[in-house]
Structure 1
């Protein structure tokens, strides 16, 4: 698969390469393309790449040594016995070209820390004494977010203060989906995105010539495909109590988005549930949301939702029906998909509309904050806050044209939104998959504060 996007990340890496001394940390959840990014970056540079694993330390030292022997074409190194990292790095430093920048990559760094709890301290000393003042760009990469944080990024980690840059790699943005799925309609691209959520590995697994539903049936519902069990593998290394976390995520997938509702469903009190939710937020699994006009630190209206599209899809359509899927009885799960897939896609559509607000070409004022707004009885899909401007939006994933009634209903709901800026200037934006009625188009042409977006 061709290398797509990641321009900002490549720019950061090139900037670090030009530094005299560079220590870059790349981390993020699995399947986001960290290794692909690194390989793309180093393909034109002198570099040594080592992929750590869960084998014991002696075996990993031996693997590192053999790779060095191959890289430097040194048969003697291949034959001698080395049992410590210091000797290996002394050799490595002695072989480096003096007048050329060199990139050293240790991928899945957290596994070295896992097999030797003192490895971060050992590596800190090696870096300070041997690597720091060499003509080296060091890249440490890892996919276990909690361990990368505790061993490399946290204030009390041995390597704290040494990094010169860090990249937390996020999923690919929807804007680039047409480069993965060529010759697909905008509607189809949104449908693909609603399931794969911008994770390169999931995108790669999908057949680009088939429909999203075909891919769900033949890939996600195939119990021999890695996608079928992906969430279990994704979470089992990060957390200990897998069943408890799965129960929390499943409860949220079922619509229990308030902490009290989740706690009640699981028979817990809210205070004991809070650490689990915080952990899932740190892992980019969940996101806590409050009405956009409120402060997230003191709002009592928090809702929790599954941040990752694929995980959300899996907990809605795979996990509840595993007893059918395990015996390859796909009829009932596929019926559920066919009945509710449009509703599923509409939720992803709302998120995409919300994200598009920041850079929308027809909005001529800067937006500093976007989000949803809700009260006990009302909800607004999209709200953007400027300095004194506020824009309210409605998103319609429907086969029908959006008409005046939708705009009028949105204006009524907007009256109930309290905001600290009493002299606000109100704008309205309507997003529609299928377009707009002639009378609404006429009104928008006459009123610059009404924006129509066929997204």
Structure 2
């Protein structure tokens, strides 16, 4: 197996599959550029007997022709004729695999699986027949299917109500790197950046390996963002539309939702999304939200003491938020653009929101730092509308614990140690009091500060703030 940064749980599962001695149908899904193909090829490198990748928007005949070429390469035979349909194509594959799996365990890999299933092609039914009629009886065979269209993989394969119902033996949803995995990935590439520099990269690119590969040795985060996002040949300059159109049919609707959420940092309810995106309600909206959620672009949070029907959706894809804020419709182009942005007020507001989202994604690291890793807790948000003499209150992150305690987390990004002023301390006291009064909770409340470099004057407000956590704990 080749070296793969991070992905410890996924690697362990794939190695277990490799030696299970059972026929396996493995579904791997996750957003584009997240490293699915690299992971599969790295782990199963020596066992791989056949690999075929679907082509986006190709015709049935083009897909079949590409299949025959892939099978020709794998079998090292004379060129095979293009099969007339997928039933015949899988028959050829069975003929090729039969003698191989008599000797040892083998893996076959279908990448971009949703793209192979062109309209009226009969591919999915042929694959069902291949698995149910032959592959599922072969003790030495592992079939891996992989797709970036996460919602399609779930609806058509994992939750299939036809011939593939309950046939998937294992599934892996591959998520972007955590901050810790990002640091390890860059270090493996001989790129030495401190946590603050890596945090800045993450706020713009997220933990997407393909994006992070663009960072060069000796570059600062500012230089890397400037080059990849603001020069005409930069990878991320025009990635936004390519990203969504490669994943979703009618991607304009998905992008309307993303744009609506980008304008509202605190998130939107389902009805508010319909209102601000000007899309129609009904089952279509449910499907769009599910597709964006499963693909990792948005996250649904249940407000404190509410139910799932009250979910608030937030845009949690770092690159999408960065693109819509700074790249799209921006007059700044060329080298030096990001340096100009990073000295302005828009950068300060954006960095605060980006840091909040990253902290929420790394809530498990916050729990570990608080010593409550093994305590069941629910992550939620809370906000109240103004009432009587009380102002409206918003709490960025709540850790509602089963041990009758709640961590009220304040998330603050700053370029140096964060100083708590007298007015801000009063605001924090008011926020905690409002939460207590309006929720009527009897749990113990711990005010927890999460900042980049810690609090400058913690001793002055020791009775107010119970925990002072720095960004370093997010890398743990």
TM range (shorter): 0.7 to 0.9
1:10 counterpart residue number: 11
Provide Cα deviations, 1:22-62, integer angstroms capped at 9, x if missing partner: 11000111101000000111123353222222444444444
Q: How does 1:130-279 map to 2 (within 5 A)?
A: 130-134=134-138, 135-181=140-186, 182-255=191-264, 257-259=267-269, 262-267=273-278, 274-275=285-286, 276-279=288-291
Matched residue count: 443
Q: State the distance in 2 between where 1:208 and 1:371 align.
A: 39
Q: State the distance in 1 between where 2:64 and 2:249 align.
A: 28
Please give the secondary structure, in 1, of the residue aligned with 2:146: strand
TM-superposed CA distance for 1:227, in Å, is 1.7
CA contact (8 A) 1:401 1:434 kept: yes
TM-superposed CA distance for 1:319, in Å, is 1.7
1:344 counterpart residue number: 350
CA contact (8 A) 1:120 1:159 kept: no
1:68 counterpart residue number: 71
Please give the secondary structure, in 2, of the residue aligned with 1:284: coil
TM-superposed CA distance for 1:96, in Å, is 1.3
2:410 counterpart residue number: 394
Task: State the TM-score, normalizing by the size of structure 2.
Answer: 0.82
1:435 counterpart residue number: 454
Q: State the distance in 2 between where 1:407 and 1:157 align.
A: 59
1:454 counterpart residue number: 470
Q: State the distance in 2 between where 1:404 and 1:450 align.
A: 17
Please give the secondary structure, in 2, of the residue aligned with 1:159: coil
Q: State the distance in 2 between where 1:189 and 1:24 align.
A: 33
TM-superposed CA distance for 1:176, in Å, is 1.8
CA contact (8 A) 1:373 1:379 kept: yes
Provide Cα deviations, 1:113-140, integer angstroms capped at 9, x if missing partner: 1255421111111112221111101101
CA contact (8 A) 1:358 1:367 kept: no
Q: How does 1:230-379 map to 2 (within 5 A)?
A: 230-255=239-264, 257-259=267-269, 262-267=273-278, 274-275=285-286, 276-297=288-309, 299=310, 302-321=311-330, 324=331, 328=333, 335-339=340-344, 340-354=346-360, 355=363, 356-363=365-372, 366-376=375-385, 377-379=392-394
Among candidates 55, 62, 84, match of residue 53 of structure 1: 55
Q: State the distance in 2 between where 1:333 and 1:353 align.
A: 23
Q: State the distance in 2 between where 1:293 and 1:246 align.
A: 31
Q: State the distance in 2 between where 1:331 and 1:86 align.
A: 54
**Does residue 39 in structure 1 map to residue 41 in structure 2?**
yes
TM-superposed CA distance for 1:385, in Å, is 1.0
Provide Cα deviations, 1:405-431, integer angstroms capped at 9, x if missing partner: 455643431222259884412222222
Please give the secondary structure, in 1, of the residue aligned with 2:210: helix
CA contact (8 A) 2:159 2:166 kept: no
TM-superposed CA distance for 1:330, in Å, is 7.1
**Does residue 121 in structure 1 map to residue 125 in structure 2?**
yes
Please give the secondary structure, in 1, of the residue aligned with 2:468: strand
Provide Cα deviations, 1:254-299, integer angstroms capped at 9, x if missing partner: 23743565555555666698444454334332223342342222x3
Query: Which moved further from structure 2: 3-12 or 350-359?
Result: 350-359
Please give the secondary structure, in 2, of the residue aligned with 1:162: coil
Provide Cα deviations, 1:234-265, integer angstroms capped at 9, x if missing partner: 21244444444433322322237435655555
CA contact (8 A) 1:288 1:304 kept: yes
Please give the secondary structure, in 2, of the residue aligned with 1:191: helix
TM-superposed CA distance for 1:363, in Å, is 4.4
Q: State the distance in 2 between where 1:124 and 1:365 align.
A: 42
Q: State the distance in 2 between where 1:40 and 1:421 align.
A: 53
Q: State the distance in 1 between where 2:110 and 2:373 align.
A: 46
Q: State the distance in 1 between where 2:446 and 2:116 align.
A: 54
CA contact (8 A) 2:412 2:451 kept: yes
Task: State the TM-score, normalizing by the size of structure 1.
Answer: 0.86
CA contact (8 A) 2:64 2:83 kept: yes
Q: State the distance in 1 between where 2:252 and 2:131 align.
A: 40
CA contact (8 A) 1:432 1:453 kept: yes
Distance 1:97 1:241, change over 3 A: closer
Please give the secondary structure, in 1, of the residue aligned with 2:238: helix
TM-superposed CA distance for 1:164, in Å, is 0.5
TM-superposed CA distance for 1:334, in Å, is 6.1
Q: State the distance in 1 between where 2:397 and 2:264 align.
A: 20
Please give the secondary structure, in 2, of the residue aligned with 1:187: helix
TM-superposed CA distance for 1:102, in Å, is 0.8
Q: State the distance in 2 between where 1:452 and 1:329 align.
A: 40
Query: Which moved further from structure 2: 364-373 or 163-172?
Result: 364-373
**Structure 1 vs Structure 2 CA RMSD:** 3.2
